[in-house]
Amino acid sequence: MTVGVDAQTAAPGTAGRASLGRRLLAYIPILVAAALLALLPLRYHDSAPMMRVITEGMLFASYVVAFNVIFGSTGQLFLCTGALAGVGGFMSAIFADRVGLPMAAAIVVGVAIAATVGGLLSWISVKRALGTIFVGIVTLAFSLSFDSLILGRSDLFGGDAGLRVAAGTDTFLREKVPPYYMFLALVVVYLVVFRLLQRSRTGWAFRALRDDMVAAELAGVDVARYRIFAGVLGSAMLGLAGALYAFSNGLIGRTTYEFGRVDVRVIVMLAFGGIGSLLGPVVGAATFTWLDEFLIDYREMRLMIYGFVIIALFLGFRRGVVPTATAWFGTARRSSRGTVPQTLSVSEDETAAEHTKAHGRSPETDSGTNQSNPQVPPP
């Protein structure tokens, strides 16, 4: 009796530890990716240009994760990724240098403004029941308007010459290696947030919205609430990345956050890595950062080669690299499990032999005895 009680008491604790282990296992891919990316400065720390390249790669990885929260989760095609990052960057720099706020407080203000703008764009799309294409048109109009505002208010934003950011000059943000690890940490935090969303009720609502908005609404999902939440959260993430880049780079302008430089690359990176996947943004950002650097010596032929490479990659990985690789891995596991029944039959034979040795008859005999006389318990 004591043993039975102890087993019953220990069972919930064992189940809880197993459940905790499964939850922690979901974050292993993030830890592995972070560990691999943390090794890059060991190879390039002596080269300032290469450190700028890989730091920018981490910056774009953070952009892509934020865009994945908005588009990959709820299907809102925000064609203003660069503009929202620019709102965070310019507002943080202006409040730090001209208003005199501490850098941390200025970043908070810039992120809050970017989140508000993103929430308003989502609210407009919900209230007007805009589809994916029309959301893209509205947000593209905002992106172009933001670019015109930077040019029109050169006294505030610096115009074509750009805005020099004095705050952060004497900090680690202007050093060669630390900014890379700062953006790597930012990407890791963003990925953890994305994984938490995936495994929560909010993630379930996001998937329902992405698959079929009408069906999700009929199932009781608050469409407006979740779409606006995704817009606010993703925009805040973009604003934070843009603000940190402003202080680490020391000079920002209209080309820093323009549509052609940011939005197009972010969409390509996410589509290549896998829309809605966890590590798709990291894979896409790493691949195209390397591709940009590899093709830099081809000059006039660079864009043409770049286009051909993109076409070839998308033909080979139509769903994205991460979902395709996951599907291949699943197929391989199912194929390997085809040998499991054979293994089980061997185990069953061994068990039958042990049973015969112990009781002098086979399990089939016991089974037949039990069937003919079900009231007689097996020996």
Residue with tokens 């459940």: 19
Lowest-confidence segment of 16-20, 119-123, 287-291 by average pLDDT = 16-20
d(CA 58, CA 244): 12
State the average pLDDT over residues 306-321: 81
Give the Cβ contact number of residue 72 at 10 Å: 26
Is 92 within 8 Å of 236 (Cβ atoms)? Answer: no
pLDDT tens for each residue of 175-219: 999 999 999 999 999 999 999 999 999 999 998 888 888 888 888
Of 337, 58, 83, 341, which Cα lies nearest the Cα of 234? 83
Q: What is the pLDDT of residue 97?
A: 95
Position 138 pLDDT exceeds 50: yes
d(CA 171, CA 182): 12
Is 178 within 8 Å of 172 (Cβ atoms)? Answer: yes
Domains and CATH numbers, the chain: 27-333 (1.10.3470)
Task: For residue 251, give the 3-state DSSP assignment.
Answer: strand
pLDDT tens for each residue of 16-38: 666 777 788 889 999 999 999 99
